Structure 1
Amino acid sequence: MIVAGAAVQGTGHLAAGLGCQDAFKAVDLGDSAVLAVADGAGGRERSALGAHLAVDTACRVLAEDAPGPQDSPETWTRWIAAAGARVVAEYLRSVTAVLTATAPPHAADAPDAEPVDAGALAATLAAAVVRPPWAAFVSVGDCFGTLLTRETVAAAEPEPAERCHLVLPPPEPRGPGPVFLSSPGAALRARSFVVWEPELSGVVLATDGCTALTLDHPSVRGLPPEAGPLPSERFFCGLAATLRANGGDAEPLRALLCGPGAARTGDDLTVLCALTDGR
């Protein structure tokens, strides 16, 4: 399996003197992979650390005891729901430990000490386990995910076209603000689901700064606005073809995220993918 990712500091953050607040991490398990991307909440001084804690926690939890390719949909669904709740709980435990350890000496023992504010490290998260024909997703907040499929063909037949499907869309632009891993009730508001797809050829996760670069308005395909955003075939399928051709070198992906089309939001941009490497 080919695993590649890149994170780029947004132009808005660069102009404001802020570092990149996104993070990504992957665990390549040979026949499967665990992916996680996180977006630290803007304006929170330590949100970059929160994003790194989020992807570390997600990869550690989701790499443990994942069901196999032959397991039932019920097994996969129960497992990813429980794993998603555990990711939130262990993230909060890690954040609390960090904030407690870095508090001024004896601050926690003061009579009027305030409780630890986990929101100081607030971050959103999207994570996935890719084990063809299964892909299992966990999401808290506004990161999004795309599934790639390609028809299986005989060796003598032409290479089939790859297709992309937005299976984890970002929230509505006019909806309520994003939910963070540190938000009250985050475990209850986490999204988790599984996809069984015999033609699965890859999964791509991205932070919300990438929407303008990677998603098309439905009018591009002659559809009404109610159809919602659609994944850009030129971006996702082109990226997959490039990464397979170069063996997973992420430099072309980094170049895409640094290009003129990526600067429209000014936000940090992170893309992480796992692709099957054979026909």
Structure 2
Amino acid sequence: MIIAGASVQGTAHLAGARGCQDAFKAVDLGEAAVLAVSDGASSRDRSALGAHLAVDTACRLLAEDLPDPDAAPETWTRWTAERGQRIVAHYLRAVAGLLGGGRCGPETEQDPGALAATLTAAVVCPPWTAFVSTGDGFATLLTGDGRCHLVLPQPPGPVSFLSSPGAALRIRTFTVWEPEFGGVFLATDGCAALTLDHPRIRQLPPEAGPLPAEHFFQGVAAALRANHGDAEPLRRLLSGPEAARTGDDLTVLCALAEAG
């Protein structure tokens, strides 16, 4: 399995003398992999730390005690849901420790929102891919024949963070069974303009929602396979003029089957 990722500071962040508030992390488990990306809230000074804490927590918990690839769908669904709850609990506990107190929450003096961050994570264990998400990140699944599916679209409404009240109830978890697995991409919201197409491009009505930009995902997948996972082509794309128009930090992380 090929694993590659890149994170680029947004032009607006650079102009405002703010560092990159995105983070990503991956764990290669041989026949499986764990991926996580996070976007720190731009209004919070310590959100970059929160983003790194989010990906560390997710990768640690999602790499433990994976179900067997041949396990029943119910087993994968239950495991993923339970891991989502554990990630929120462990994240809040770690934030409380960083803030120098005990419990964190709106009813205490310790506000976990100081480290507010989103999370989009995946466990890749073909034919299964399990997702845990809160916030406005998104995920695209590639099949062996090169088709792209937006399996985790950006949710409507206000952005929810791991530290938001009721985060354990808002976190999304689900599993996908795809025997022709080709790859999975995770991205933070700053990448939307670069990696998602408006439905009118494919002559579909607006209610069809955003669609994955196949030229982006197929092109990146081909380049990474050709150079054995060197992420430089991905970094160049995220640093290009088209990506720079968003002004936001951009992070993309992927795991690809070595054969196309």
Q: Runs (4+) of structure 1 moved beyond 4 Å?
A: none
Partner of 2:165 in structure 1? 184
Specify the code of the residue in structure 2 equivalent to 1:144: F
1:220 pairs, out of 193, 201, 207, with 201
Q: Does 1:163 find its partner at 2:147?
A: yes
**Separation in 2, partners of 1:88, 1:266:** 29
d(CA) in 2 for partners of 1:249 and 1:165?
24
- Measured after TM superposition, the shift of residue 225 of structure 1 is 0.4
Does the alignment pair 1:121 with 2:115? yes
- Which string of whole-angstrom CA distances, capped at 9 and with x for unpartnered residues, describes residues 154-180 of structure 1? xxxxxxx411100000123xxx21000
- Could you say which residue in structure 2 is the equivalent of 1:104? none
SS state at 2:252 partner: strand
Tell me the CA shift for residue 263 of structure 1.
Answer: 1.2
Separation (CA, whole Å) in 2 of partners of 1:263 and 1:212:
10
SS of 2:100's equivalent? Answer: helix
Tell me, in whole angstroms, the C-alpha distance in 1 between the residues paired with 2:88 and 2:136.
Answer: 15
Distance across 1 between alignment mates of 2:216 and 2:86: 33
Query: Which residue identity does 1:199 align to in structure 2?
Result: E
- For residues 1-279 of structure 1, the aligned pairs below 5 Å read 1-100=1-100, 115-150=109-144, 161-172=145-156, 176-278=157-259
Query: 5+ residue gaps in structure 2?
Result: 103-107
Q: How far apart are the structure 2 equivalents of 1:189 and 1:235? A: 30
Q: CA deviation at 1:265?
A: 1.4
TM value normalised by structure 1: 0.90
Residue 242 (structure 1) shift: 0.6
| 1:174-232: CA deviation from partner (whole Å, max 9, x where unpaired) | xx210000001101100000000111111100000000000000000000100000000
Q: Give % identity.
A: 71
* 3-state DSSP of counterpart to 1:100: coil
The structural deviation recorded for 1:115 is 1.4
User: How far off its partner does 1:15 sit?
Assistant: 0.5
Unaligned stretches of 5+ residues in structure 1: 102-107, 109-113, 151-160
Aligned-partner residue type, residue 92 of structure 1: L
**Aligned to 1:94, what secondary structure does the other structure show?**
helix
**CA deviations over 1:217-258 (Å, ceiling 9, x no partner):** 000000010000000000001111110010000000000000
1: CA distance, partners of 2:176 / 2:43: 35
Letter in 2 for 1:49: L
Corresponding letter in the other structure for 1:215: L
Secondary structure, counterpart of 2:193 in structure 1: helix
RMSD: 1.3
Paired letter, 2:26: A
In 2, distance between residues paired with 1:162 and 1:256? 20
CA-CA distance at 1:68 after TM superposition: 1.4
The 3-state SS of whatever aligns with 1:123 is coil
Q: Give the aligned residue type for 1:254.
A: R
| Most deviating of 262-271 and 55-64 | 262-271
Matched residue SS, 2:17: coil
Question: How far did residue 43 of structure 1 move?
Answer: 1.2
SS of 1:24's partner is strand
Q: Flag the structure with larger Rg.
A: 1
Mapped to 2, the partners of 1:142 and 1:24 lie a distance apart of 15
Q: CA deviation at 1:278?
A: 2.7
SS across alignment from 2:147: strand
Q: Please report how far the alpha carbon of residue 264 of structure 1 lies from its aligned counterpart in structure 2 after TM superposition.
A: 1.8
Per-residue deviation at 1:66?
A: 1.0
User: Normalized against structure 2, the TM-score is what?
Assistant: 0.96
